[in-house]
Amino acid sequence: MTLRIGAARARDRDRVAEIVSSTGVFRAAEGAVALEVFDSAVERPGVDYFALGAFDEADRLVGFACYGPTPCTLGTWDLYWIAVDPAYQRQGTGRALMEACERAIERRGGRMVVVETSSRPDYGPTRAFYRKLGYRETARIPDFYAPGDDLVVYVKPLTPSGRDRVHG
């Protein structure tokens, strides 16, 4: 399988909605937020968010990630969304997207990536994915999303290249 990682495009919006829905883990309200973040990232890249896509041989979006600088920090960035079409999961698509995000963040002076996720059992593979990529759990807020559904925070330090300015 050959993938191309590149900037997500406005025309990929419907595929983002399909991918988020097809994962089976996001609530409807979460899907609406994913589209809101995606729209902002492709309409005004870098103002608040950036978006990368993973594209198959037919140039069809099969995964996406949205990330951006964390306001009021020096060099801290958040991964806001990552989702991969279930047909492309466990084939390196998510890893390729994360590595591309990390490289882009480092180029912009980023020194740390923060990821927030759920403690629900169906998010077990997601948490394992982050751990495999070198993220470590640094915080947990019980019952954050819902009773019995904790917020789990993962962090990974980066080595900024400093080519672009560090946000503040």
Nearby residues of 15 by Cβ (< 8 Å), 6 or more positions away: 60, 61
pLDDT at residue 113 is higher than 50: yes
> What confidence tier does 73 reach under pLDDT thresholds 50, 70, 90?
very high
Least confidently predicted of 27-31, 105-109, 154-158: 27-31
Average pLDDT over residues 32-43: 96
Nearby residues of 135 by Cβ (< 8 Å), 6 or more positions away: 113, 115, 154, 155, 156
Least confidently predicted of 71-80, 81-90, 154-163: 154-163
Burial of 149 (0-12, 13-18, 19+ CB in 10 A): middle
Q: Are 50 and 68 in contact (CB under 8 A)?
A: yes
Residue 128, both tokens: 């394992």
Structural domain boundaries in the chain:
4-157
Q: Which top CATH class is 4-157?
A: alpha beta
